[in-house]
Structure 1
């Protein structure tokens, strides 16, 4: 953690020198009608983008979580290690945002928009720490961002305490947003509307609670009551609310757009996704994939489900590449390359919320509503969102309202048994997160063991357990150097003193 604080200090020094060096230029060119000082609005933009924007290196980095969640394979360049379950180190770099979160609140204090910005602060913290703890287990939480006070070696809070803290912060966010007014600096489609942020924050709280389903019986967590309280308060996403996320534009293009086909031409869609979409007669297949060249050459039409073939994501890389060169596989839909805004970046949607509610109703966490209706409303919303994609990329199988109205037949009709119903819900969440939130799909796989991720011991890079999918990221390597005592205690408390990718964190036990 010490190195993070050093980086922050050097960054501020660099920024200070730039500002001093450019003072004469700014004196001549400052617009008298605009503010030259940091304020809550400016800081909020950075905080929200840090939370929601793809902050990876490049298109290759964008695809890596997709490979790990078995949506894709990657051929004819070099082996993408994530496809074969290589799990590296996590990162605490996201915590550098916390200083800006505090600054935002300081700037807003005493202003009419104070409650709105405090709501953003609570949500941003909850969103950050949720992902950190779900990746690694115990993480610094209560001692995080205290470098200015001289605390460079923060203790690790237990995962249970972190998740309780996250839920408490989301409850606080709900309270702040309920008293908030429209605020500036929001780059999302919500445009500073605290009512929409409140709904999205509560939907995210339901997602966090569902990820704790293995701990349902723990009375100290009070999971069912917390979940029911949020639902009964009825401040949740509506279809008209829209998604929490970001829209791409000509200025901020999709990470795969304009990459000269260096990545999209090598991205093969997995059989885990394609085979199920074919079984469900789901037209999202045509928006996700291109038909296999060999099958088109053999006479099949692009509008034929059978013109699409996926790869076993565990297949040997050399064999996969050879079959790829022979045109046997369906590649990623060309819209990701050709359209700078092929689809928005959606972090929390009405569709996912409704599927979470469907599962909660089956589990008897709530008594309101009907599981079948929740399921159908969630899937319908996802299909309507897909319908917004340009039809030219749908291979003559565009989704329309008539298709949506008749979608729930055959294998998609709500099943008669609880086990099958849950699998339907889980898989629809898996479909939903294609090219969106693959990390969440991996979290869900750990929780439900569904869908069944393919594993081949001869290709698996999980060396210690070649028959298994890893279950966590390792801690940042810097912790063993700069925060060794707390790092070793966290390992001793959780993982028998060993920082291994197959060690099972508390939330999965």
Structure 2
């Protein structure tokens, strides 16, 4: 009996122990899951957090790449060290690819959260930012991962490469949709460090970017002329410098202009070019004292020198870039000149006026060419808060009338637009490439430019960047298909849709 009772007691005890273990395991699993939820890394991040990051990261990337690539390829500035950009000894420029694709993660997060919340204006602002970023990527490389690139599917590590033509058409359609949402949609724009939530300004940016893309593609878009004209007729484009899409930086790290923290040697690896200096000195262009620092650091009687674009053996001594781009306590600061440090530029009213001038010259719109041309120059001067006096002029009217800059031929628009695009991301290169193609794939039709000294591409302007090497190893099937469409070579001279 005793043994039987002990057996029953043991069975009861086992059941109690198993029940206790089950409760413990169930409770522990719940607690473990809760423990693993990091309160500092929430799964859902609001647009008020993601939007500033998306804007800042993408604009910072473009500022850095304008300093290293865009300005130098277009010969606005010149490299004094590591002259690969100038000499056309181009690689994949992976920081451009990685920086922009990295920022698209936050942009997609903003767009997704906005859609889930039914916030149409937030969604539209994200679409505008996304479109600008993708436009830069496809303009630089050609076919790129687009429709599958930021779908939110973590398992898709090998996105397909969309054709440049399809990307352009989709971006134009998306910007049109964004413009409508910004005009008529519900909600508000949170975390907006570009326009402080002003939907009207975002709408103007959407439409102004459409003008840029239509001009870039030209007759590659079958109805480019009518699209352009209809956008202009709507009136919802940049109409003053108040509309400029420029990021105002703070005066403290990490939210300051990206070049400010550079070591002196790294900043001085770029100087004003002899090419742009020659053009600006011809007219006595007062922007020169903003784009470059006088060698004598005397802004009342400035003296400048220009570095030759090309190899290091070609004369690489030139004036430093302007005071707004770097703080040197031993020299005049931007604040001493009554101006602030430089902005991060997405697009300006000046560029829009030059787009309108060129559209008028092409017959796309029935406007006076010189009116828009003159307005483009004046807007650029006003944006840079120039001082006319040291250059021998009283004001803009005096400058325009007496400097020799007054409109004469269509290439004048190119020249003045080229100067105005200083530090506007990669646009200086994209525009020079367009003019080069329109001039018969030759520098001969661009009066203010020549092939860089001792370049490595037979005096031919390269038309694209190479795809990063990691794409070949990590996304080989789609990479190979894209390269096949280029003619079988991931080459800087391989023909992309824009230049075919």
TM range (shorter): 0.7 to 0.9
Q: Is 2:487 the partner of 1:490?
A: no
**C-alpha separation between the residues in 2 aligned to 1:269 and 1:279?**
15
**Post-superposition shift, 1:67?**
2.1
Match of 2:418 among 413, 422, 430: 430
Aligned 8 A contact 2:208 2:352 in 1 = yes
Distance change (3 Å), C-alpha of 1:83 and 1:241: same
Q: Is 2:165 the partner of 1:160?
A: yes
**C-alpha separation between the residues in 1 aligned to 2:262 and 2:291?**
18
Match of 2:265?
262
Aligned 8 A contact 1:456 1:466 in 2 = no
**C-alpha separation between the residues in 2 aligned to 1:109 and 1:473?**
34
Match of 2:306?
310
3-state DSSP of counterpart to 2:320: coil
Which structure 2 residues correspond to residues 291-306 of structure 1 after superposition, within 5 A?
291-292=294-295, 303=300
Match of 2:13?
none
Distance change (3 Å), C-alpha of 1:345 and 1:105: closer
Match of 1:46 among 53, 56, 69: 53
Match of 2:383?
385
Match of 1:89?
92
Match of 1:253?
256
**C-alpha separation between the residues in 2 aligned to 1:224 and 1:124?**
24
Q: Is 2:171 the partner of 1:172?
A: no
Q: Is 2:465 the partner of 1:473?
A: yes
**C-alpha separation between the residues in 1 aligned to 2:229 and 2:479?**
36
CA RMSD of aligned residues (A): 3.1
Larger Rg: 2
Aligned 8 A contact 2:62 2:426 in 1 = no
**C-alpha separation between the residues in 1 aligned to 2:116 and 2:451?**
56
Q: Is 2:321 the partner of 1:332?
A: yes
Match of 1:505?
496
Match of 2:371 among 366, 369, 373: 373
Q: Is 2:242 the partner of 1:237?
A: no
**Post-superposition shift, 1:138?**
1.2
Name stretches of at least 5 consecutive residues in structure 1 with no aligned partner.
1-16, 27-34
Match of 2:285?
282
**Post-superposition shift, 1:135?**
0.8
Aligned 8 A contact 1:72 1:267 in 2 = yes
Q: Is 2:372 the partner of 1:397?
A: no
**Post-superposition shift, 1:60?**
9.2
1:130-163 per-residue CA deviation (whole Å, 9 max, x = no partner) reads 1111111111222222462743332222111110
Distance change (3 Å), C-alpha of 1:108 and 1:492: closer
Distance change (3 Å), C-alpha of 1:61 and 1:370: closer
3-state DSSP of counterpart to 1:407: helix
Match of 2:352?
353
Distance change (3 Å), C-alpha of 1:264 and 1:496: closer
Match of 1:412 among 405, 408, 419: 405
Distance change (3 Å), C-alpha of 1:153 and 1:233: same
**C-alpha separation between the residues in 1 aligned to 2:308 and 2:363?**
36
**Post-superposition shift, 1:50?**
3.4
**C-alpha separation between the residues in 2 aligned to 1:478 and 1:357?**
41
**C-alpha separation between the residues in 1 aligned to 2:38 and 2:157?**
33
Match of 2:192?
186
Aligned 8 A contact 2:290 2:323 in 1 = no
**C-alpha separation between the residues in 2 aligned to 1:371 and 1:499?**
40
Aligned 8 A contact 1:53 1:246 in 2 = no
**Post-superposition shift, 1:61?**
8.2
Aligned 8 A contact 1:155 1:486 in 2 = yes
Name stretches of at least 5 consecutive residues in structure 2 with no aligned partner.
1-32, 328-332, 335-339, 437-445
Aligned 8 A contact 2:78 2:309 in 1 = yes
**C-alpha separation between the residues in 2 aligned to 1:472 and 1:127?**
18
**C-alpha separation between the residues in 2 aligned to 1:149 and 1:287?**
46
Give the TM-score normalised by the residue count of structure 1: 0.78
1:223-273 per-residue CA deviation (whole Å, 9 max, x = no partner) reads 111111111111111216331120122122222325453244453311210
1:455-489 per-residue CA deviation (whole Å, 9 max, x = no partner) reads 357x32x3xx3322211101121222222222222
Distance change (3 Å), C-alpha of 1:439 and 1:105: closer
